[in-house]
Amino acid sequence: MQILGRVVALALLALPLMAASPPRIAPDDPAANLNALFSRLRAAKDPAEAQVVEGMIISIWATSPSDTANLIYQRGVVALGAGDKELALDLFTACTSLQPDFGEAWHQLGVANFALNANDEAMIDLEHALAIEPRNYGALMQLAAIFSIYGNQHASLQALRRAYALNPHIDGLGARIEAMAREVEGQGI
């Protein structure tokens, strides 16, 4: 509930920023909303605008058709934020069992598994999240971290590039990709 409140507050603060060309929002069509928001995110001219659009995207991702799943998800987010990784794992597992197409719940389950050093399980969860929502740049960033741990720098670089293509406003990501590309692909002649 707290996350949703913060997202709404950010959205209200950003109304002046978005007045020039707001994304077209269809109340009952999350897919169309996400398409419009991703276009807006790529076109954002400054970090403040990008942050507002990111919040709107995340608020759509963090909502399933099931009120019960939404409540369990929100409790999982709170548990993860409080450092209770085991409880978060249990809650996100319950959430994905109840609502198997809830991509963001799979993403957060992957985050919880990663926090518990269960990298194989995290990778499976993150890939499941990306099968549901291929534009989940957070899941791509997490997957890149796991690939890097396993020593697969090429796969890590590819995941980071995919995340950057979706959200070029992730702080420091462009420089990180450039540095990793020099390591993985070498210097051009």
> Contact at 8 Å (CB) between 177 and 160?
yes
pLDDT for the residue 63 = 95
Across residues 75-102, what is the average pLDDT?
Answer: 98
Between CA 176 and CA 62 the distance in angstroms is 28
pLDDT, tens digit (0-9, with 9 covering 90-100), for 102-150 = 999 999 999 999 999 999 999 999 999 999 999 999 999 999 999 999 9
pLDDT for the residue 25 = 52
Cβ neighbours of 89 (radius 10 Å): 22
Task: Identify the band that residue 151 occupies on the pLDDT scale cut at 50, 70 and 90.
Answer: very high
Give the pTM.
0.82
Q: What's at 35, amino acid-wise?
A: N
Between CA 179 and CA 176 the distance in angstroms is 5
pLDDT, tens digit (0-9, with 9 covering 90-100), for 14-28 = 434 444 444 445 556
- Taking CA atoms, 119 is separated from 17, 52, 86, 109, 114, in Å, by 40, 31, 15, 11, 5
> Contact at 8 Å (CB) between 110 and 95?
no
